[in-house]
C-alpha cells in the first residue's frame, strides 16, 4: 500500500500513552503469517464489550460513527511499545489506518511500520496536545499530510515533521527494504561476481 504525496484523511483520537503491541492486537490472534484478516481484532480488548461475539463498545472512539471511516490515528507517547510483533502493524493497516501521529514510537514498531508502508509522524508534545484539544472542541476532523515538504496541515497552519528520504521513497512507492534492495539486483550481482573467491582452498592431503 502506498500513500499519495498529498493525503487528506479523517482523524480518530486515542488519548492513551504507552499503548503496547498486545493492546493493539492480543497474542491469541497471532495464528497466521498472512497480512490480512487482523483488522477485526484491532484493539480487541477495548473495542468490544463481548470479545467472543464481537459486540462493539459504544464508548470506544473507533466505534463511534464520526470516527468509523478514519484513516489517521492520533495518539500519545511511546506507541507500539512491548513485544515485537509485526501483526500489530498488519492489524492497523487491515482496519484502514494509513497514518499514525504521536509524540514518540517504539523503535521496533517504527521499523515494522515503514517496512509495511504504515506512515508514522512524530510531532512534539505541545502540538499533540493542541490536536487533541481541537478535536475535543470539534474544530478538526481532517488533516492533510504533505509527504514532499514534510508538513501536517490543519486550520491554515502547518507543522513540520522529520521523514528520511529513504522512508519517503518507500511510502510513496509502496516498497519495503527487500523491495528496495531488489531494485539494485543487477548491480549487486555484478559486484558479487567481481569479488575474488577468498574461500577457495585446497584439500589437505
Tell me the pLDDT tens digit for each residue of 141-189: 899 999 999 999 988 899 999 999 988 988 888 776 666 566 666 776 6
Domains (range + CATH), the chain: 6-194 (3.20.19.10)
Task: Please choose, from the candidates 31, 36, 16, 32, the residue with its C-alpha nearest in 3D space to the C-alpha of residue 77.
Answer: 16
Q: How does the average pLDDT of the chain come out, rounded?
A: 89
State pLDDT tens for residues 37-83: 999 999 999 999 998 888 999 999 999 999 999 999 999 999 999 98
- How many whole angstroms separate alpha carbon 26 and alpha carbon 45? 8
User: Residue 139: which residues within 8 A CB-CB, separation 6 or more?
Assistant: 155
- Cell numbers standing for residue 21: 503491541
| Inter-residue contact 168 to 147 (CB < 8 Å) | yes
- Per residue in 103-128, pLDDT (tens digit) is 999 999 999 999 999 999 999 999 99
101 in Cβ contact with 75 (< 8 Å): yes
pLDDT digit string (tens) for 18-41?
Answer: 999 999 999 999 888 888 899 999
Low-confidence winner among 89-98, 139-148, 161-170, 194-203 (lowest mean pLDDT): 194-203
How many CB atoms neighbour CB 152 within 10 A?
20
DSSP 80-128: TBSS--HHHHHHHHHHT--EEEES-B-HHHHHHHHHTT-EEEE--HHHH
Could you tell me the pLDDT band of residue 205, with boundaries at 50, 70 and 90?
Answer: very low
- Under 8 Å between Cβ of 152 and 101: yes
Q: The whole model's pTM is what? A: 0.86
Amino acid at each position: 500500500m502506498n500513500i499519495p504525496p498529498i493525503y487528506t484523511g479523517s482523524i480518530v483520537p486515542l488519548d492513551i500513552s504507552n499503548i503496547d503491541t498486545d493492546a493493539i492486537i492480543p497474542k491469541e490472534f497471532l495464528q497466521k503469517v498472512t497480512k490480512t484478516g487482523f483488522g477485526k481484532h484491532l484493539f480487541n480488548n477495548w473495542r468490544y464489550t463481548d470479545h467472543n461475539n464481537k459486540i462493539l463498545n459504544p464508548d470506544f472512539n473507533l466505534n463511534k460513527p464520526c470516527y468509523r471511516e478514519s484513516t489517521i490515528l492520533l495518539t500519545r507517547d511511546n506507541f507500539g511499545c512491548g513485544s515485537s510483533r509485526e501483526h500489530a502493524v498488519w492489524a492497523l493497516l487491515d482496519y484502514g489506518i494509513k497514518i499514525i501521529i504521536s509524540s514518540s514510537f517504539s523503535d521496533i514498531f517504527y521499523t515494522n511500520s515503514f517496512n509495511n508502508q504504515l506512515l508514522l509522524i512524530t510531532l512534539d508534545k505541545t502540538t499533540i496536545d493542541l490536536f487533541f484539544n481541537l478535536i475535543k472542541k470539534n474544530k478538526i476532523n481532517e488533516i492533510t499530510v504533505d509527504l514532499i515538504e514534510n508538513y501536517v496541515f490543519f486550520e491554515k497552519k502547518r507543522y513540520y515533521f522529520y521523514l528520511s528520504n529513504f522512508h519517503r521513497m518507500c511510502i510513496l512507492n509502496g516498497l519495503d527494504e527487500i523491495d528496495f534492495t531488489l531494485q539494485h539486483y543487477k548491480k549487486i550481482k555484478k559486484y558479487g561476481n567481481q569479488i575474488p573467491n577468498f574461500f577457495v582452498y585446497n584439500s589437505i592431503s
